[in-house]
Structure formats: structure tokens, C-alpha cells
Amino acid sequence: MTIRRNLFRNGGNLLAATETIRMSTLSLLLAMVVSAIIMAICRYNPFEAFGAIFTGAFGNSRAISQTLVHATPLMFTGLAFTIAKKASLINIGVEGQMYMGAIATAWIGALDFGLPAVLHLPLAILFGAVAGALLAGLVGFLKVRFGSNEVISTIVLNTIAINITGYLANYPLKADGPTAQTNRILPTAELPRLFQGYQLTAAFFIAIAVCAIIYLVMNKSLLGYEIRCVGYNRLAAQTAGIPIGRVMVVTMLISGAVAGLAGAMLVLGVDKRFIVGFSPGYGYNGISVAALAADNPIGVVFAGLIFGALNAGSMVLNRTTRIPTDFINVIQAFVIIFVSAPLLVKDILPFHKLRRKHDK
């Protein structure tokens, strides 16, 4: 008891951080247990399922590479959601912003400027980020200027963005052939593979670097401070002379840029072109990642890896067992619910109750 109190006095943040990590871990485990129970009810062997997932995610070097490849877009989308959340903005539009980023990158990547790779690749990435930022910026602008609820406008813009990119890939930018996709990007715009025969590219490390940068910006910089002020208490921020409208728009721009990067990296590293319907819902799964990360940019790295492993593993699940891969989506949805309902987790897990009584 005394130790606990001292900890609280001297390093409340540390205690809060460990508590957050504990709750996230418990929520994840609970989501997996619940899914396992559902599997068992459906007469599948959950051990077989998780075994297959584990093999698919970590079984050999190729599996690990796949885990990292799957984690990359999730880290970007999770981070994008987290950034907006810091300003108390719910950016459901990550999916649409990612589509915009992907199409912009695919367009620039396929254009032949005669540029060397050192210029062409960054240019393509930049366009992806800018395209995502612009769409998210529109959301911020609508909110600040007209008071439109960002949840609704992002949902609407997702559909619009997916339709517009679909139109572009079907008509003006369509590559020859039956499928709705753009031309293959030029070799100068490709993210090189790190190891021969593995899909892993530098995109994974770029994702980690972006998470680290965002962490520093949020916690150590003036801009991050103002974003957090706006997120926690808009009126107090306004009273303190913080231009809340501008901060919200800037936050959305950054969030959208990171979402755009998700699309750009997928195009440059994995698909090599924009393919209609390329995303299995990375934008929405980013919400799960952000939830599991408890809105911490560093946490996003780990949460992204966990979901990356689940997704990579689900491929093997699909190949080697009859168990439907949709269990992975069920787990992800449960993670959102459990992480956002700590009281529920405490109710379900009995040892928490004992502990609470003991504390009293």
C-alpha cells in the first residue's frame, strides 16, 4: 500500500503507463479467449487455430517477414487514428485518406519524369501523404468552419474517396487489361526489398520511425502540447490563446498524411500499383490498433505488430485448416470493445475483483 502510494507520488506517469499496458494486454487476451470460446462452440479446435496463426506469424523467417509486412499498414493507420484522437477528433476517415494516398502515389509512381530513384521514390511518397492530408484537412475545415461532426463527415468521405479512386482506376488511369487497376509503378519509385525473396521493404522501418517522430512531437513539442490541450479541454485551450481551429485542422492534416502514407507504402512496397478494393479494411482495423495502443504512438508499434502477426497468421490458417479467417476480424472488433470498456474487463476477470476488495 505504501509502496503503491509512493509510486503514485513520485512517478504517477510510470504507474499509469504500467496500468495501461496491463489493461491493454488483458483486453487482448480476453478478446482472444472469447474468440476461442466461439471457435470451440463452432466445433473448431482453438488450439489448432492459434497454433496455425502462430506458425504463420513466427514459424520461420518468411513468416516473420510476412508479419512485419502486414504490421506496416496497420501501424500507419493506427497512428493516424491516434494522432486525431489526441485532439479529441475521431478520424473514421483513415480508410478513405489511405485510398487517396494510394492513388496519388500510384499515379506519380507510374509517371516517367526521367527522375532517379532518390527523387522519384520520395516524390511518390510525398504525393501520397499530401493527398491523404488534403482529404483529412477538408474534414478539419468542415468541422472548424461549419461545425460538422467529423465522425459523420469522415464516414461520408470514405465512400466518396473510394468511389473517386475507383473511378480513376477504372477510367483515366486504368492500365490495359481486364482488371481495374493502374499502371505498374516504375522501378525508380519502388521500395526495394530488403532481402531477396522476402516481401519486407523499408516501409516497415519508415513506419516505426514515423511512430517515434509522432511520439516526440506529441509529448515534447509545442505543437503536441497544443494538440493535447485542444483534445482535453477546448475551452481552456482557447482561453490560453491557443488557436483551436488551426490546431484541429493541423492535427487532421498530420493524421491524414500518415493515413496517406499507409496507402503509399502499400502501393510502393507490396502491390506496385493501385488496385481497386486493395484494402481489406486497414483503415478500420487501425481503430483496433489505436485502441490496443491506448492512444500512445509507441504503443502503436507493438499493437501494429500484434495485429500484423494475427493477419499474417490468418493466411496460414486459411491454407492449412478449415477454420474461417474471419475469426481474426472478430478478435479485432472485440479488442476495440474490451479496450474501451475497462470496467467490463474488470467485471469479467475475477482476480481483479479480489484485488479491488483487498485495496479497500
Partner 1 sequence: MISDFILRMVFPVLISTISMSTPLILAALGGVFSVRGGIMALGLESMMMTGAFCAVLGSYLSGSAWIGVLCGVLGGMLLGLLHGVLCIRYKVNQVISGIGLNLLALATTTLLMQLVWKNRGSSPQVASLEYSGVVSPLFWLTLVLAVVASVVLFRTKFGLRLRMVGEHPQAAASMGIRVHGYKYIGVLVCGALAGLGGTYLSLDHLNMFVRDMTAGRGYIAVVINILARYTPLNTIWCAGIFGFSDAVQIIFQGRGIPPQLVQSLPYVVTLLVLAFGVKHITPPAGVGKSEDD
Partner 2 sequence: MRVVEMHDIVKDYPLTRALDHVDFALDSGSIHSLLGENGAGKSTLMKILYGMCTPDQGHIQIKGQSERITNPRQAINLGIGMVHQHFMLAPVMTVAENIVVGSEPDTGLLFDSRKAALVVDQLIARYGFCIKANERVSNLSVGEQQRVEILKALYHGAEILILDEPTAVLTPQEVEELFVIMRELRKAGKSIILITHKLKETLAIADTLSVLRDGRMITSGLSIEGVSADDLARMMVGRDVDLEMTNRSKTIGPISLQVRGLTLKGKEKNILSDLSFDLHRNEILGIAGIEGNGQSELIEVLTGLAKAEAIVFQHEGTTLSGDAHDFIQLKIGHVPEDRSTRGLIKEMTVEENLMLGYHRSPRFNRRGFFRPSAVRDFAQRMIKDYTIKTGSSRQRCGSLSGGNQQKVVIARVFSEDPDLIIVAQPTRGVDIGAMHYIHERLFELRDQGKAILLVSADLDEVRRLSDRIAVMYDGRIVSISKPGEYTETQLGLMMTGSSVEGCKDDNQA
Is there a contact between 290 and 214 (Cβ–Cβ < 8 Å)?
no
Evaluate the CA torsion angle 283, 286, 291, 295 in order and state its sign. Answer: negative
Q: List, in sequence order, every residue forming a beta bridge with 174; answer none if it has no partner.
A: 182
* Cα angle 279, 280, 285; round to 5: 105
Give the binding site for partner 2 (CB under 8 A): 8-13, 216, 220-223, 225-226, 228-229, 232-233, 235-243
- Give yes or no for residue 332 binding partner 1 (CB under 8 A): yes
DSSP 8-state assignment for residue 279: -
Is there a contact between 281 and 95 (Cβ–Cβ < 8 Å)?
yes
CA distance 153 to 183: 31
- The one-letter code for the residue type at 250 is V
Q: How far is the CB of 10 from partner 2 (least distance, A)?
A: 6
Q: How far is the CB of 296 from partner 2 (least distance, A)?
A: 14
Is there a contact between 139 and 93 (Cβ–Cβ < 8 Å)?
yes
Give the x/- contact pattern for partner 1 in 65-104, rule: CB under 8 A: -------------------------x-x------------
Q: How far is the CB of 9 from partner 2 (least distance, A)?
A: 4
- Give yes or no for residue 333 binding partner 1 (CB under 8 A): yes
- Return the number of the residue (31 or 230) whose C-beta is nearest partner 1: 31
- Give yes or no for residue 148 binding partner 1 (CB under 8 A): yes
Is there a contact between 108 and 121 (Cβ–Cβ < 8 Å)?
no
The interface partner of residue 19, options being partner 2, partner 1, none and the CB cut-off 5 to 8 Å by kind, is none
- Return the number of the residue (4 or 319) whose C-beta is nearest partner 1: 319
**Which residues ranging from 215 to 274 are in contact with partner 1 (CB under 8 A)?**
none
**Maximum CA extent, the chain:** 72
Which residue ranges make up the site for partner 1 (CB under 8 A)? Answer: 42, 90, 92, 142, 145-149, 151-153, 155-157, 159-160, 163-164, 166-167, 170-171, 284, 287-288, 291, 324, 326-327, 329-330, 332-334, 336-337, 340-341, 343-344, 347
